[in-house]
């Protein structure tokens, strides 16, 4: 039955790891997948996560199936983390959700859900996280793009964004990155978010927030939720996917929450019941362990404050590396302006290097970043920063 199967291409982001493995150059460097590394280039498990795990082991919990919607305590704590402890919409029961298979799984369920309930397309920023497009296409939606980034001066194209959003048909679902836009690292300012909120109201658009980096933008997880909280305060009915991969460093545990803000508690409950209809035949129920880790942390004042501090530590290390990388580029004699590396926020530097330059870096310097010139700043360390700067300068002078 398999004779006609062709070998599929490597994934444009995750496939880099395979190519990197095959490269035996001793100084090879990978700054591809967005996964945090410590300054020694090693994966980092947050100490608060280790401590929560220890407590969980001691409790000798059972390993029964979760419900279709997952761990309710985790979902409640996650919604408070995203929407705010004092959110009135949350207190009114208008915000409800399910545990999701991290960001990716939640996006897929959401795509399926809105398609079943009448949406034909979804609007995403151009550019956006590469996987958004196949996720929504596989949900049966047509993916359309709105302008987001001005490559000519490495900044947000806010005017273009407003113009394109103005033309979106009423009722359409529009994806917004809550903070630390992937791949560009450029977010609207709070004033611009306010303008967007007003425009979404006027045009009767349906906002959907992808919150994959809460805590990674400013280093303060509360500040990073400002866009989402503003939209909720402004009375929007919306959807949100929260991922705990990056901020809690729980990548492989697949922890997330998919939620909606409805006009009342009954409406939100009806939407959640429909999410469960999507989930049951898709994967039945989500894994337990990672959700227990997050809820142990968010339910304990000491672990929670440790989390805020450790998350800030990751964001700070990245910011230090942004400055170092820009300074090293200047030190090796680059005459190009690299200020955007310092200005951008979150995990990535959208370097402005084109595909040819990226391929040249790969061939000549064994330096691996994605074809769009996106560099995962989380993989830049004190030891490799000058090597990276040299390679970037060499292909761009
Ligand atoms: N959304 C965005 C914008 C992302 O950058 C990512 C991961 O890089 C995700 C969602 C999904 O990640 P995960 O499935 O690990 O939560
Ligand atoms: O680096 C990125 O943009 C992501 C990272 O299951 C990622 O693609 C890797 C694996 C995964 C989800 C996200």
Per-residue pLDDT tens over the stretch 188-233: 999 999 999 999 999 999 999 999 999 999 989 999 999 999 999 9
Cis bond before residue 127 (omega within 30° of 0): yes
Q: How far is CA 157 from CA 86, 154, 234, 330, in A?
A: 33, 9, 24, 27
Same domain, 288 and 386: no
Note down the domain range covering 321: 15-44+314-396
C-alpha 14 – ligand 2 centre gap (Å): 7
Task: Give the catalytic positions in this structure.
Answer: 129, 210, 246
| Ligand 1 lined by 334 (C-beta under 6 Å) | no
C-alpha 339 – ligand 1 centre gap (Å): 26
Q: How far is CA 102 from CA 98, 162, 252, 291, 350, in A?
A: 11, 30, 9, 10, 24
Q: Per the domain annotation, does 5 fall within a domain?
A: no
**What confidence tens digit (pLDDT) does each residue in 269-313 have?**
999 999 999 999 999 999 999 999 999 999 999 999 999 999 999
Contact residues for 3 (Cβ-Cβ < 8 A; gap 6+): none
- State the closest ligand 1 atom to the C-alpha of 244, by its place in the atom list counted from 1: 16
Same domain, 288 and 320: no
**What confidence tens digit (pLDDT) does each residue in 33-74 have?**
989 999 999 999 999 999 999 999 999 999 999 999 999 999
> Among residues 386, 357, 385, which one has the least CA distance to residue 369?
357
Q: Per the domain annotation, does 194 fall within a domain?
A: yes
Q: Per the domain annotation, does 243 fall within a domain?
A: yes
Report which DSSP code applies to 337. -
- If phi over 0 gives left and psi between -120 and 50 gives alpha, with beta otherwise, what is residue 333? left
Q: Quick check: 241 and 107 in contact, CB under 8 A?
A: yes
Given 299, 328, 361, the domain boundary residue is: 299
Same domain, 236 and 380: no
- Here the CATH number for the domain that contains residue 327 is 3.90.1150.10
| Ligand 1 lined by 242 (C-beta under 6 Å) | no
Q: Per the domain annotation, does 53 fall within a domain?
A: no
Same domain, 34 and 88: no
Same domain, 149 and 251: yes
* 3-class SS of residue 189: coil
For the chain, how many residues are written? 397
- Here the CATH number for the domain that contains residue 74 is 3.40.640.10
Q: Per the domain annotation, does 55 fall within a domain?
A: no
Given 267, 299, 331, the domain boundary residue is: 299
Report which DSSP code applies to 43. B
Q: Per the domain annotation, does 308 fall within a domain?
A: no
Same domain, 86 and 191: yes
| Ligand 1 lined by 390 (C-beta under 6 Å) | no
Same domain, 151 and 240: yes
The span from the CA of 256 to the CA of 108, in Å, is 12
Same domain, 366 and 281: no
| E strands in the chain | 29-30, 95-101, 121-126, 142-147, 149-150, 155-156, 173-177, 206-211, 238-243, 255-261, 348-350, 367-368, 374-376
Domain count for the chain: 2
Same domain, 193 and 82: yes
> Among residues 310, 287, 308, 285, which one has the least CA distance to residue 298?
308
Given 244, 268, 299, the domain boundary residue is: 299
**What confidence tens digit (pLDDT) does each residue in 178-198 have?**
999 999 999 999 999 999 999
pLDDT, mean over the chain: 97
* pLDDT confidence band for 84 (50 / 70 / 90): very high
Q: Per the domain annotation, does 61 fall within a domain?
A: no
Q: How many CB atoms are located within 10 Å of the residue 357 CB? A: 17
Same domain, 166 and 274: yes
b or e along 293-317 (b: 16 or more beta carbons within 10 Å of the residue's beta carbon)? bbbbbbebeebbebbbebbbebbeb
Which residues line ligand 2 at a C-beta cut-off of 6 Å?
13-14, 33-34, 104, 129, 131, 182
**How high is the pLDDT of residue 364?**
96
Same domain, 359 and 213: no
Q: Per the domain annotation, does 305 fall within a domain?
A: no
The span from the CA of 349 to the CA of 375, in Å, is 5
Same domain, 260 and 359: no
C-alpha 130 – ligand 1 centre gap (Å): 10
Between strands 95-101 and 255-261, the pairing is antiparallel
């Amino acid at each position: 039955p398999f004779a006609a199967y062709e070998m599929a291409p490597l994934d444009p982001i995750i496939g880099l790891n395979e190519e990197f493995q095959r490269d035996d150059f001793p100084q090879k460097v990978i700054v591809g997948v967005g996964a945090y590394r410590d300054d020694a280039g090693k994966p980092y498990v947050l100490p608060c996560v280790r401590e929560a795990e220890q407590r969980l082991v001691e409790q000798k919990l059972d390993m029964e199936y979760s419900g279709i919607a997952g761990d309710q305590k985790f979902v409640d704590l996650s919604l408070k983390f995203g929407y705010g402890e004092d959110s009135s919409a949350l207190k009114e029961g208008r915000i409800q959700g399910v545990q999701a298979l991290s960001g990716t799984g939640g996006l897929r369920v959401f795509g399926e859900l809105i398609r079943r309930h009448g949406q034909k397309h979804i609007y995403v920023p151009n550019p956006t996280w590469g996987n958004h497009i196949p996720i929504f296409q596989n949900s049966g939606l047509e993916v359309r793009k709105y302008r987001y980034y001005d490559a000519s001066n490495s900044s947000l194209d806010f005017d273009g964004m407003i113009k394109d959003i103005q033309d979106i048909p009423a009722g359409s679902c529009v994806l917004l990155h809550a903070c630390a836009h992937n791949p560009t690292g450029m977010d609207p300012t709070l004033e611009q978010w306010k303008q967007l909120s007003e425009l979404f109201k006027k045009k009767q658009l349906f906002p959907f927030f992808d919150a994959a980096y809460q805590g990674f933008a400013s280093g303060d997880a509360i500040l990073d939720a400002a866009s989402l909280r503003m939209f909720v305060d402004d009375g929007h009915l919306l959807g949100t996917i929260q991922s705990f991969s990056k901020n809690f460093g729980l990548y492989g545990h697949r922890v997330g929450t998919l939620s909606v803000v409805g006009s009342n508690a009954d409406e939100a409950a009806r939407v959640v019941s429909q999410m469960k209809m999507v989930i049951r035949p898709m994967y039945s129920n989500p894994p337990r362990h990672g959700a227990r880790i997050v809820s142990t942390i968010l339910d304990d004042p000491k672990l929670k404050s440790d989390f805020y501090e450790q998350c800030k530590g990751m964001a700070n290390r990245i910011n230090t590396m942004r400055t170092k990388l820009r300074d090293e580029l200047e030190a090796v004699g680059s005459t190009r302006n690299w200020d955007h590396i310092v200005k951008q926020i979150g995990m990535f530097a959208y370097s402005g290097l084109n595909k040819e330059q990226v391929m040249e870096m790969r061939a000549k310097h064994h330096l691996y970043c994605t074809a769009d010139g996106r560099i995962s700043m989380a993989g830049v360390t004190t030891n490799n920063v000058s090597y990276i700067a040299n390679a970037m300068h060499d292909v761009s002078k």
